[in-house]
């Protein structure tokens, strides 16, 4: 009997260990009401938060983000920006041009704040301390593993003057851009709490459900995360077609949204929003809201340079018509690229998406984005954040390149598709326009050339820091942007060079399938890549992500022995890579010599079956040179080129190609 009991205990211990080693996630359910005093630029809020502690840990405290407290003189965001401004790069201050020293110059009624009036857990008042943009709550009773707690909060907020992402009276004329507007519970995961102060960048949120009611003056039109529940009482283009809108009595309307399975909630409001709607068959409804205040547009037109006004025949109506056309193109472009996006990056699980003019550039949120203007490059980029942040949700602070870089990679492909389909059709009959478009498409690597160029610039400046650097802790803004966006994009494009483009596409779809709604990190991605490609890739992460070592290969020398040609290659940079060597012969034929890297313990499939390929033994990373031997004479050769697809981020391409003079 004792032996049976011991066996059962061991089995239970094993099962418990397995369960605890698997990933778990916390869960939230927000119910919130905001009552907006638009004239005073303030609102009062109530929040009920049901928090599920799905971790194996007992929680004795919790943390919230109070983002708007950053918009006060001498805040961490203010001081960090001014300190970066003291750094001169190419003679210019290195601060974010949108922030600069503006926070320090805010008047009292222009600042932002979120003040907590009361906070309870399960009905009991809780003591709390405000650490600027972080609220610390030391619980009077711990939250046990795999249990729930209900927090209730009253708060009051002043909407800051638009400086960064959130605020009022943006440069684009939008009245309220309401991101980071509510006290947001910080994420707790396998690494513990993440009470990241709001310095400048990136976010990390808990998956959950949102039920949000916003009361605001009746003349305001809103765009937001989620599904509007009372559309036929609201109207403004949200109502069911053919429905007579009957609004409740009173000075305000209450907009009621719900949003399932998201980790944030954004909204924006303006009395002059124009609302466009497109319905994608079998897909989401597309909402586009933009500022069409003719008084504001008149002022914009008046400020144009004379040569720009001439493009509109000095006519305001022509200018406004062009604004309408650009925003309609945003709506139509979303419809045009949607099937391509779903096929290549995964299904969109929600029933709507909103492109909302507001904010200070482009900023992504679940089911919505804020856009300063209608530029399609930004439009596609922000929408692709849906796949690489809103649906996967890595910790952006720790892995900004897995958000921004992966999004850049996808955006480049979407833009290329749009140019090759919609723009090409529009240019039918325009020979010069088609030639210009083709010249763009012939750049190698076709999708990502600008991101490669930005990475090369970063690698040569001496400012580069490893991709493991926390988003807020880069020494300068240029290094952060080039690393997160461009080096992150090159990470994927170059991975296609290592494992093959078809494998890369399968990796990205499998990564999405396995990890959406689960907060993956770099190791989770690498394991998917290895399983799909059957190639070992830990070395690639160690060199490209954890270091700033660069790639540089060159053609060292060539000679002939016994009627066979010997081509010696040299690794000059510190990062080892597999090598594609294209040999072109005088008779017009070509041969690809493929040399895997020793670390890979495998090889990529042949990508171009029209070119004969010879696979050589792997190149050991300890060896600075490698000799390729081919069964043809030197006199037959016309040229040699390392990496003809230009997907390898070789920092010195001049030594990659040799034109043979004889």
DSSP of 570-597, one letter per residue? EE-SSS---EEEEEEETTS-EEEEEE-B
Distance CA(520)–CA(619), nearest Å, equals: 32
Q: Is 230 exposed, middle or buried (0-12, 13-18, 19+ CB in 10 A)?
A: middle
Q: Is 138 exposed, middle or buried (0-12, 13-18, 19+ CB in 10 A)?
A: exposed
CA-to-CA separations, 198 to 201, 202, 470, in angstroms, rounded: 7, 9, 13
- pLDDT score recorded for residue 588: 95
Q: Residue 338 corresponds to which tokens in the numbers above?
A: 């949607």
Nearest Cα to Cα of residue 238 among 191, 299, 196, 289: 289
Q: Residue 402 corresponds to which tokens in the numbers above?
A: 């897995």
CB atoms within 10 A of CB 503: 20
Q: Residue 22 corresponds to which tokens in the numbers above?
A: 């698997």
CA-to-CA separations, 116 to 37, 137, 155, 156, 589, in angstroms, rounded: 18, 12, 4, 7, 74
Nearest Cα to Cα of residue 153 among 129, 118, 187: 118
Distance CA(581)–CA(558), nearest Å, equals: 13
> Which residues contact residue 98 at a Cβ distance below 8 angstroms, ignoring those fewer than 6 apart?
163, 164, 360, 361
Q: Residue 473 corresponds to which tokens in the numbers above?
A: 């802790």
pLDDT over threshold 60, residue 477: yes
**Residues 19-66 pLDDT 10s:** 344 689 999 999 999 999 999 999 999 999 999 999 999 999 999 999
With cut-offs at 50, 70 and 90, classify the pLDDT of residue 662.
confident
Helix, strand, or coil here: 7? helix
Average pLDDT estimate for 606-634: 97
**Residues 123-136 pLDDT 10s:** 999 999 999 999 99
Q: Answer for the pair 81, 170: CB distance below 8 angstroms, yes or no.
A: no
Q: Kindly list the structural domains of the chain, giving each domain's residue range(s) and its CATH number in brackets, ordered by start.
A: 24-77+112-271 (2.60.40.1730), 294-391 (no CATH), 409-544 (no CATH), 553-659 (2.60.40)
> Which residues contact residue 244 at a Cβ distance below 8 angstroms, ignoring those fewer than 6 apart?
none
Distance CA(373)–CA(267), nearest Å, equals: 17
Q: Is 517 exposed, middle or buried (0-12, 13-18, 19+ CB in 10 A)?
A: middle
Crossing angle of helices 449-461 and 406-418, rounded to 10°: 140
pLDDT over threshold 50, residue 12: no
Distance CA(376)–CA(372), nearest Å, equals: 12
Distance CA(150)–CA(153), nearest Å, equals: 10
Average pLDDT estimate for 245-258: 96
- pLDDT score recorded for residue 425: 76
- pLDDT score recorded for residue 8: 41
User: Within its chain, how far is the Cα of 421 from the centroid?
Assistant: 25
**Residues 62-118 pLDDT 10s:** 999 999 999 999 999 999 999 999 999 989 999 999 999 999 999 999 999 999 999
pLDDT over threshold 70, residue 140: yes
Provide the sign of the torsion angle of the four alpha carbons 573, 579, 585, 590, taken in this order.
negative
Range 123-131 contact pairs with CB under 8 angstroms and sequence separation of 24 or more: 123/152, 126/151, 130/66, 130/69, 131/195, 131/197
> Which residues contact residue 235 at a Cβ distance below 8 angstroms, ignoring those fewer than 6 apart?
245, 247
Distance CA(238)–CA(236), nearest Å, equals: 6
CA neighbours closer than 13 Å in the CB half-sphere of residue 217: 14
Residue 284: DSSP 8-state: P
Average pLDDT estimate for 329-355: 97
- pLDDT score recorded for residue 584: 97
Q: Answer for the pair 581, 628: CB distance below 8 angstroms, yes or no.
A: yes
pLDDT over threshold 60, residue 306: yes
User: Within its chain, how far is the Cα of 56 from the centroid?
Assistant: 31
pLDDT over threshold 70, residue 552: yes
Mean pLDDT of the chain: 94
332: left (phi over 0), alpha (psi -120 to 50) or beta: alpha
Average pLDDT estimate for 395-403: 97
With cut-offs at 50, 70 and 90, classify the pLDDT of residue 391.
very high
Q: What are the strands, taking DSSP E only, across 320-418?
A: 352-357, 362-365, 368-371
With cut-offs at 50, 70 and 90, classify the pLDDT of residue 439.
low
> Where do we find the tokens 């949700």?
393
CA 323, 231, 184, 369: dihedral to nearest 10 degrees? -20
With cut-offs at 50, 70 and 90, classify the pLDDT of residue 420.
confident
CB atoms within 10 A of CB 97: 10
CA-to-CA separations, 553 to 130, 488, 577, 652, in angstroms, rounded: 54, 21, 9, 8
Average pLDDT estimate for 483-490: 98
pLDDT over threshold 70, residue 405: yes
Q: Answer for the pair 261, 205: CB distance below 8 angstroms, yes or no.
A: no
Q: Answer for the pair 311, 323: CB distance below 8 angstroms, yes or no.
A: no
Average pLDDT estimate for 176-202: 96
Strands 208-217 and 176-178: unpaired
Classify each residue of 617-628 as buried b or exposed e, where b means 16 or more C-beta atoms within 10 Å of its C-beta.
ebbebeeeebeb
**Residues 601-615 pLDDT 10s:** 999 999 999 999 999
- pLDDT score recorded for residue 273: 98
Residue 618: DSSP 8-state: P
How long is the chain?
662
Q: Residue 235 corresponds to which tokens in the numbers above?
A: 């109207």
Strand 267-270: give its sheet, edge to edge: 167-168, 176-178, 267-270, 221-224
Distance CA(383)–CA(350), nearest Å, equals: 13
Residue 219: DSSP 8-state: T
With cut-offs at 50, 70 and 90, classify the pLDDT of residue 213.
very high
Percent of the chain with pLDDT over 70: 94
β-strand partners of 192 = 189
Average pLDDT estimate for 244-273: 97
Helix, strand, or coil here: 85? helix
Q: Residue 482 corresponds to which tokens in the numbers above?
A: 């080039």
- pLDDT score recorded for residue 2: 41
- pLDDT score recorded for residue 11: 41
Strands 252-262 and 134-143: unpaired
Q: DSSP alpha helices (H): ranges in 213-361?
A: 231-234, 294-302, 306-310, 316-345
- pLDDT score recorded for residue 371: 98
- pLDDT score recorded for residue 18: 38
Distance CA(648)–CA(578), nearest Å, equals: 9
């Amino acid at each position: 009997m004792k032996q049976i009991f011991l066996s059962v205990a061991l089995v239970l211990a094993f099962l418990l260990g397995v369960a605890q080693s698997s990933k778990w996630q916390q869960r939230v359910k927000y119910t919130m009401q905001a009552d907006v005093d638009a004239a005073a630029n303030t609102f009062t809020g109530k929040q009920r938060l049901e928090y599920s502690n799905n971790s194996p840990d007992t929680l004795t405290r919790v943390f919230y983000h109070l983002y708007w407290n950053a918009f006060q003189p001498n805040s961490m965001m203010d001081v960090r920006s001014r300190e970066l401004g003291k750094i001169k790069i190419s003679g210019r201050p290195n601060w974010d041009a949108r922030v600069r020293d503006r926070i320090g110059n805010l008047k009292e009624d222009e600042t932002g704040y979120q003040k907590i009036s009361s906070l309870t857990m399960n009905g009991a008042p809780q003591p709390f301390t405000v650490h600027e943009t972080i609220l610390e709550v030391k619980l009077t009773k711990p939250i046990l593993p795999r249990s729930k707690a209900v927090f209730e909060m009253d708060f009051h907020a002043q909407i800051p003057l638009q400086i960064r992402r959130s605020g009022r009276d943006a440069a684009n004329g939008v009245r309220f851009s309401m991101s980071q507007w509510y006290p947001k519970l910080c994420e707790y995961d396998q690494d513990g709490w993440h009470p990241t102060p709001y310095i400048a960048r990136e976010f990390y949120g808990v998956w959950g459900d949102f039920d949000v009611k916003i009361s605001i003056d009746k003349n305001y039109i809103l765009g937001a995360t989620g599904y509007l529940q009372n559309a036929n009482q609201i109207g403004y283009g949200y109502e069911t077609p053919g429905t007579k809108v009957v609004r409740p009595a009173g000075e305000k309307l209450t907009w009621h949204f719900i949003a399932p399975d998201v980790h944030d909630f954004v909204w924006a409001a303006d009395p002059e929003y124009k609302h466009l709607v497109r319905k994608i068959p079998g897909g989401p409804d597309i909402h586009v809201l933009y500022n069409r205040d003719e008084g504001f547009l008149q002022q914009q037109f008046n400020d144009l340079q004379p040569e720009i006004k001439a493009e509109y025949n000095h006519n305001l109506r022509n200018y406004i018509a062009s604004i309408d056309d650009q925003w309609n193109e945003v709506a139509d472009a979303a419809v045009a690229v949607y099937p391509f996006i779903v096929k290549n990056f995964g299904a969109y699980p929600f029933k709507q998406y909103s492109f909302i003019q507001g904010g200070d550039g482009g900023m992504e949120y679940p089911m919505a984005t804020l856009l300063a203007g209608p530029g399609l490059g930004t439009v596609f980029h922000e929408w692709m954040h849906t796949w690489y942040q809103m649906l996967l949700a890595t910790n952006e602070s720790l892995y900004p390149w897995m958000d921004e870089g992966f999004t850049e990679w996808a955006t480049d492909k979407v833009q290329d598709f749009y140019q090759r389909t919609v723009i090409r059709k529009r240019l039918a009959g325009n020979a010069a326009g088609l030639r210009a478009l083709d010249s763009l498409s012939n750049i190698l690597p076709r999708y990502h050339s600008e991101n490669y160029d930005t990475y090369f610039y970063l690698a040569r400046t001496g400012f580069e820091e490893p991709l493991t650097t926390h988003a807020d802790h880069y020494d300068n803004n240029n290094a952060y942007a080039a690393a997160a966006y461009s080096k992150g994009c090159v990470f994927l494009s170059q991975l296609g060079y290592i494992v093959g483009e078809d494998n890369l596409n399968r990796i990205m779809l499998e990564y999405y399938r396995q990890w959406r709604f689960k907060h993956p990190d770099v190791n989770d991605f690498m394991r998917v890549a290895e399983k799909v490609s059957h190639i070992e890739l830990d070395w690639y992460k160690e060199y490209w992500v954890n270091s700033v070592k660069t790639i540089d290969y060159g053609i060292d020398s060539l000679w002939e022995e016994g009627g066979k040609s010997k081509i010696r290659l040299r690794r000059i940079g510190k990062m080892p890579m597999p090598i594609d060597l294209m040999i072109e012969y005088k008779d017009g034929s070509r041969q690809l010599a493929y040399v895997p890297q020793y670390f890979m313990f495998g090889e990529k499939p042949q990508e171009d079956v029209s070119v004969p390929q010879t696979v050589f033994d792997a190149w050991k990373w300890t060896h600075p040179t490698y000799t390729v031997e081919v069964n043809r004479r030197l006199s037959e050769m016309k040229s040699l080129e390392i990496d003809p697809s230009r997907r390898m981020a070789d920092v010195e391409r001049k030594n990659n190609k040799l034109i043979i003079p004889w």
